[in-house]
Amino acid sequence: LPIQYKKRRKQLTSLNGKVTLSTIEYEWLAKVEIGTPGQTLNLLADSGSPETWITTPSCEKCVSENCFDPVESSTFVYNGSEFSMTYIGGGGPEGYFASDVINLGGIVLVNQSMGFITYSDIMIDADGLLALGLSALIKDLQTDVGGEITFGAIDYSKIDGEITYSFLTEDEHWQITVTNVYFNDLPLNLNKSITFPVAFDTGSQQIMMDGNLAESI
């Protein structure tokens, strides 16, 4: 599907790309190529993360056996900065920042900065994480098998009825404001004086909320 973004507020560029998605339990995995020649990796598509990271052969405690080898890529550039991420519940990957080419189903991003992981204490069935956070650079993913994630366009063949739009409430996450919660089409009317910020996270298998709200539900 076509997407558009403004570069320096003047130049308008259109891109088209299609990336295969697969699933393992609760994880959406995107098949992408990184480096020159391209090394194929299955990355967890995560709309809640701003940074892409991938595992390397030197990674301690990494579960994936299919990792990215910087030695085999002629376009790999090391910049020396440390990389680390901490996720909800504690823990996360550690390594260093570097850049290389990413091919997302025909969309080629050169000099793409990402984390190259040398240690990780989190368990995911993937070779790394593809950041789809609101502040991330990656723009478009879709597939015809199992489901799809589409940015920048609407597939009206999948829609029955009218589309309801909600404004994003911040610049870092895909976050909107929820004013009520429904159960079997009935509003719970938990507290009409309170609204709830909600972020959409494709990297999580759970609905997480404040304890008081959970008790009310």
Q: Are 21 and 148 in contact (CB under 8 A)?
A: yes
Q: What is the DSSP string of 141-199?
A: ---SSS-----S---GGG--S---------SSS-EEEE---EETTEE----TT--EEEE
Give the residue-averaged pLDDT of 121-131.
84
pLDDT tens, residue by residue, 44-64 = 988 888 889 999 998 887 777
Choose from 58-62, 78-82, 137-141, 164-168 the range with maximum mean pLDDT. Answer: 78-82
Confidence band of 94 (pLDDT split at 50, 70, 90): very high
Residues paired with residue 6 on neighbouring β-strands, in sequence order: 12
Alpha carbon separation from 95 to 22, 124, 132 (Å, rounded): 26, 17, 20
